[in-house]
Structure 1
Amino acid sequence: MKNLTDEELMIQVTNGDLNKLSIIFDRYHVHLYNFFNKMIQDKTISEDLTQEVFIKVLKYRTSYKNGNFTSWIFTIARNIFSTYYQKRKKERTHLINDDICSNDKEISEGNEEAIDHLQKALLQLTVSDRELIVMHRLQEINYEQIAEITGNSIGALKVKMHRALKKLKSIYFQNIEN
């Protein structure tokens, strides 16, 4: 069962074999959690939003039409994030969480400061720019899938990614010099 593709598993879930959803959960919950955590910097909310994705996957399983599963599930995640962000937009007293690196890699003290600085620079980007960088560079989602998720052409997406990285670089180095 574990060697079935995500698409094959989701088709079985769509056809009523809900036990296969646990395999999908095992494959995707860490990626989704990391996506949310990089976007909002709150572990508890990231866990809640990740759970909400799987609730929606279960609820809307019949809407899956045999396309790219990664694109489909990240579209759901992106919509959930957008809803969350719009609800919280007015009450934006959001402090940066010191526990930025929850990816189980050991980080030296020198690198910890650089990562903290990079995370602060990332948070200064617009939500759409940050979302692109998080999906592509941190979640390693390819351009084709991100284009499908965001509704952009691959060419337009690459231009947006280039501009977002250029902004991030500018913010990062501007803050280092100050």
Structure 2
Amino acid sequence: MTSLSDPAPFAALSARLLAARSATRALEAWCAEHGIGDGAVRARMVPAPPLPPDAEALELLRPAPAEVLRHRRVVLVRGAVALSEAENWYLPQRLPPGMRHVLETTDTPFGVAVEALRPRRRTMHVAFAADGLLHRAVVLTGAGRPIAVVHERYLPALAPAALPASP
């Protein structure tokens, strides 16, 4: 396992994520470039009791009294390789019914499911930790309406130092 006490192995990935409209699309490109896993990035649901949002998430999303805030815990994978773990709080009422259905019934990552809304991310926090790269972000529609808050941990398998050397 790669130690991330030195943030250098993850610096390029972090920069890519910060510049991306979709973390999932950035991960797909990163994995293709570095030969990590195969196929599309998928969201493997992690069964767990819903985690209540923190004060920051509530402030960023500002749900209306009638809006229900949903929690989704996933591991993003490409083939057999775990790429990241994410906690996602989202407001399904701000999504078209088809998108809600996809999120509730398939392994489609959030960023892919909401792609038609032209989402963009505003990152609130980045940290390099021994067990991964941490990002906290709010996901906004192209029109600037907040639809989700994500807490992501990008796993050491993504760090270039953890990748096998080229032959």
Structure showing the higher strand proportion among its residues:
2
Structure with greater contact order relative to length (CA < 8 Å, sep ≥ 6): 2
Larger radius of gyration: 1
TMscore range, shorter length: under 0.3
| TM-score scaled by length of structure 2 | 0.25
| TM-score scaled by length of structure 1 | 0.24
